[in-house]
Structure formats: C-alpha cells, structure tokens
Amino acid sequence: MAEVNKRQKEFEEKQKNLADLQNKLQTQDKVLGDPAKADLSRQIDRINTDLQRMNDDAQKELGDFQQQLFRPIMEQTQKVLQAYSNENGFSVVFDVSSQANSIIYADNVSDITTEIIRRVDATVAKAPATSAAPATRPPAPAPKPAEPPKK
C-alpha cells in the first residue's frame, strides 16, 4: 500500500501540474507570445505522455504482482483438483464460470467447486505458516455428493 500511495501522490502531482499549465495556457492565451504558447504546449504534451507511461507501468506492475500472489494459490488448487479428479474418476473438469466456454448447460449437482475450495482451504490450513497474509474467508460448507451421470 505504501508503494501504491507513493505512486498515486506522484500521479496526482503531475495531474495538478498539467491542470495548472492548461489553465495558464487558456487564461493567458491573449498575452502570451507564440514561443511561450509553444513552450507551454510542449510541457503539456510531455506531462500527458508521462502520465500515460506512469499509468501503463502501474497497470503492468499490478498485473505482475497479482500473478505473483495468485501463482501459489493456483498451483495448490491444481494439485487438489487433480487429486479429486483421480479419486472420482473424472477425465475432464470444465470451468463453467468462464464466459468464453461453450458449455450450454451444467447441472448444479455436478458442480465440484465447493468441495475443491474446502480441500484447498484444508491443505492451506495444514501448510506451514508463510509470509503470505492469512485467509479470512470462512471454510466452505460441505458439498452435496455428486450423483452419477444419468444414462
């Protein structure tokens, strides 16, 4: 958060500087000479470019940071999902929450999400403490057992 606050303060300072320069260009348009107007315009363009770069850099770093934080969770979830699938004889598990899937219908009785979350939470609770922040979500309720597919 300290880094976010620092960057936000820098961004806000640049935005204020930009607004001041734009205001000066507008209010003193009649009294400024062409070289002064051109100089103000260049300063405004440079600050706009700086702000865009700051924003782009922040977005990229945030994405990288999120990947860094979520990678261990995804790896653990993948292990749990593989074990559960092997135990229950699943060959394929679909992510029906994704908007890009082509699954037209899925019965909730075949949804294993709650059980996977429960198992991931259980493995995280067994794992030795790390520097990561502790989970604050309460354990998921036990799921209903999936019924075998009807033929």
Give a yes or no: residue 45 inside a domain. yes
Give a yes or no: residue 35 inside a domain. yes
**Mean pLDDT, residues 128-138 taken together:** 49
Per residue in 3-40, pLDDT (tens digit) is 778 888 999 999 999 999 999 988 888 888 889 889 99
The pTM (predicted TM-score) of the whole model is 0.51
CA distances, 125 to each of 3, 114, 129, 135, 142 (Å)? 30, 16, 9, 9, 16
Instruction: Return the pLDDT at 129.
Output: 59
Give a yes or no: residue 92 inside a domain. yes
pLDDT at 61 over 60: yes
Count of structural domains within the chain:
1
Per residue in 100-124, pLDDT (tens digit) is 777 767 777 778 888 899 999 998 8
C-alpha 6/C-alpha 17 separation (Å) is 17
Give a yes or no: residue 90 inside a domain. yes
Give the 3-state secondary structure of 68-85.
Answer: HHHHHHHHHHHHHHHHHH
Instruction: Return the pLDDT at 5.
Output: 85
Q: Which domain holds residue 64?
A: 2-126
Give a yes or no: residue 56 inside a domain. yes
Give a yes or no: residue 142 inside a domain. no
Give a yes or no: residue 132 inside a domain. no
| Mean pLDDT of the chain, nearest integer | 81
Give a yes or no: residue 151 inside a domain. no
C-alpha 114/C-alpha 127 separation (Å) is 20
Q: How many Cα atoms sit within 13 Å of 30 on the Cβ side?
A: 1
